[in-house]
Homo-oligomer: A and B are copies of this chain.
Amino acid sequence: MSAAGDGTPFTWAARVYWEDTDAGGVVYYANYLRFLERARTEWLRARGVMQQQLAVEKGVQFMVLRVAVEYKAAARLDDLLAISCEMRPDTRTTAVFAQRIWREPAAPGGRRELLVEAEVRAVCVDAKTLRPRRIAEYIS
């Protein structure tokens, strides 16, 4: 389940731009879900799964069933974020993704700060009928 095969979870980087922030001076609470999805999409891509292709060629897509997010500290404009993604098998047709978002240190040698912890439950479905499909057929 690791990108490197060494127990380190898969991690994707994202920069905070103006589009992500709100008038409170920090990232808007809904926009962390965009960062979480980018990491899940790249986690899939690292396994050779392109969702556009999956939809067109196999008629299969993922639908989010449940999201739980804990906001521990706020990201700000220009922050560099690291977003992790680990898949935990759930039922045959669903998966649970455990994800975290950190702020990278401003200076080398600094420490990452944990900003967000999230759990996302998704189901694999036939794009037309919305009937559940076995995840193992598409992600290995």
Contacts and interface: CB of A to CB of B under 8 A. Distances in A.
Q: Report the copy number of this chain in the oligomer.
A: 4
A7 B91 CA distance: 39
A71 B65 contact: yes
Contacts of A51: 18, 77-78
Contacts of A66: 68-71
A3 interface: no
A33 to B, nearest CB: 4
Nearest to A45: B78
Interface residues on A, range: 35 or more
A29 B40 CA distance: 14
A113 interface: no
Contact of A19 (B28, B52, B53, B74): B28
A30 B23 contact: no
Q: Among A15, A37, A38, A50, find the residue whose CB has the most chain B CB atoms closer than 10 A.
A: A37
The 10 A-B residue pairs with the shortest CB-CB distance, nearest first, are A30-B33, A21-B23, A52-B78, A52-B77, A19-B34, A68-B68, A29-B64, A30-B30, A67-B69, A18-B22
